[in-house]
Amino acid sequence: MRKTVEELLRNLPSLEAVLGDPGFAPVLARLGRELSVRLLRRELELLRQTVLNGGDLPDQAVVPAALAARTLSSGNALLAPSPVMVVNAGGVVVHTNLGRSLLSDQAADRVAEAARGYMTLEYDLTTGGRGSRLAHFDGLMDDLFPGYGFLIVNNNAAAILIALKALAAGREVVVSRGELVEIGGSFRIPDIFAASGALLREVGTTNRTRVEDFTTATTDRTAAWLKVHTSNFRIVGFTEEPTVPDMASASRQAGVPLIVDWGSGDLADLSPLGIRDEMPVRKILEAGADVVTFSGDKLLGGPQAGFAVGQPDLIAKMRTDPLSRVCRLDRLKIAALRETLAAYARGTEFEEIPTLKMLALTAEEIAARAKNVIAAATRLGADADRMSTRPGVSRTGGGSSPTGERPTILLAVTGKNGDEGKLEAKLRQGSPAIIARVQDGDLLLDLRTVLPHQDDIISRRLAEILRR
């Protein structure tokens, strides 16, 4: 006979009874009393609601041991590290969903140091008074961009927003219709205009815009021209877009500044690597742009940040805008970013910055590593007949160089009876997680984006999923 609701409720143990049970001691030791009480109370309430909703409770569901197990499981899930570390074997170097650029060892060390102690974030040791957090970048930015002013905030969207607000609020900014892009997370250029108070003046068409379109649209209401780098797509075919030099020359004649959003933020020349749809920021400035905004965590290879570099008088207006403080950098980003910029000042960026080191790897270097991984996996018990190497391409990613590709050598696992998707899931859901991709019936891993010390992890995990 089924017990009544009252009988079932009376069968529920009290909170104190469970807390005092010897079997609950490991939970208290792991989670602490305060968290344990909150989670246990939640478990008891769930049982109570089950009864009130007409459900039944097996006797074992209410014993202290079962409640302890569920409470411990809830606590472990709550306290588990997140985000978790993964091995990126997908071949996208600046992978937005995986955190974009990795920090250099030097930058990571400085972040750890800054996190553990006090620092002169806004303190001047000479005067004993308050300093400026941007002053930590004065020397490096003057070395990298001599004669220009700068502002650094927490991301590139903020840099664009501040530029439009400080330089054009209440007035028109002319921009090509083909450059009204969405920059990720459903965040669109027209949204930034709306938030800034600047008035959007579209010119041209989706596929063709000329300098004359900007000149014709310029009136006494115009505050600036804006060129937006279409960093995550390309329109091909019957197209035309004005170059930065042509726009800069025409904007000077029109008496308005040219703002260029160059989101990918490459400071180094990547054309020797075959990436020719990106231009170093300094060349954009030299071509006549008055303000250039760009990201810190894409091709620059640092932490998330947004730069604005340009004519000192324009940058000064941006610095005094209240949003500059709202979007300012914290001490950890300052520590990481300063070390990243220092690598460029030293000329060692391709030796120190992971993003550039990965992009610079040759297909031959990657092939040698892939063959070593296959050999190691075979020794650990993997089926060698299912593993091979083949040519492929890596991508820069992160909203940069949409047409730029780097030749690579892929480690391919041949699908067997359609199991390539299951193998990919096993890699992704194992420990540590490995991100790979499935294409044309094969599981593909690109070691360009795998740190060298992680090759052993790839071998071990392949052996786990490919046991002979």
What is the residue whose two structure tokens read 């052993």? 456
Is residue 158 a contact partner of residue 327, using CB atoms and an 8 Å limit? Answer: yes
The pLDDT value given to residue 62: 77
Q: What share of the chain is helix, strand, coil (3-state, %, to 5)?
A: 50, 15, 35
Q: Where are the alpha helices (DSSP H) in 211-296?
A: 211-217, 244-254, 281-286
DSSP string, 272-318: GGT--S---HHHHHHTT-SEEEEESSSTT-SSS-EEEEE-HHHHHHH
Instruction: Classify strands 387-395 and 437-439 as parallel, antiparallel or unpaired.
Output: unpaired
SS3 329: coil
Question: Residue 115: which of 331, 302, 305, 296 has the closest Cα?
Answer: 331
As a CATH number, domain 359-465 is 3.90.1150.180
As given in the structure block, the two tokens for residue 282 are: 């300094």
**Distance spanning both ends of the chain, measured CA to CA:** 54
pLDDT for the residue 192: 92
400: left (phi over 0), alpha (psi -120 to 50) or beta: beta
What is the predicted pLDDT for the residue at 437? 95
State the virtual CA torsion across 273, 278, 280, 286 in degrees, nearest 10: 130
Three-class SS state of 89: coil
For the chain, 468 residues long, give each residue's pLDDT as a single digit of tens.
Answer: 567 888 878 888 999 999 999 999 999 999 999 999 999 999 999 999 988 988 877 777 778 899 999 999 999 999 999 999 999 999 999 999 999 999 999 999 999 999 999 999 999 999 999 999 999 999 999 999 999 999 999 999 999 999 999 999 999 999 998 888 776 655 788 999 999 999 999 999 878 899 999 999 999 999 999 999 875 555 655 567 888 999 999 999 999 999 999 988 899 999 898 887 788 999 999 999 999 999 999 999 999 999 999 999 999 999 999 999 999 999 999 999 999 999 999 999 999 999 999 999 999 999 999 999 999 999 999 999 999 999 999 999 865 655 568 999 999 999 888 899 999 999 999 999 999 999 989 999 999 999 999 999 999 999 999 987
> DSSP label at 198?
P
Closest CA relative to residue 386, chosen from 451, 318, 467, 440? 467
Mapped onto helix, strand or coil, the DSSP state of residue 176 is strand
State which H helix or E strand residue 409 sits in.
Answer: strand 405-414
Residue among 409, 413, 408 nearest 377 (CA): 413
d(CA 317, CA 441): 56
Rounded Cα distance between 458 and 465, Å, is 11
Task: Judge if 104-352 and 359-465 fold alike in CATH terms.
Answer: no
Where along the chain do its domains lie? 5-79, 104-352, 359-465
- DSSP string spanning 340-362? HHHHHHHT-HHHH-HHHHHHH--
Using the CB atoms, write b or e for 13-45: b if 16+ within 10 Å.
eeeeebbebeebeebbeebeeebbbebbeebbe
104-352: what fold? Aspartate Aminotransferase; domain 2 (3.40.640)
Question: Cα separation of 447 and 189, whole Å?
Answer: 35
Given a contact cutoff of 8 angstroms between Cβ atoms, the answer to whether 17 and 63 are in contact is: no
pLDDT reported for residue 189: 87
Burial bucket for residue 452 (CB in 10 Å: 0-12, 13-18, 19+):
exposed
Q: What length does the chain have?
A: 468
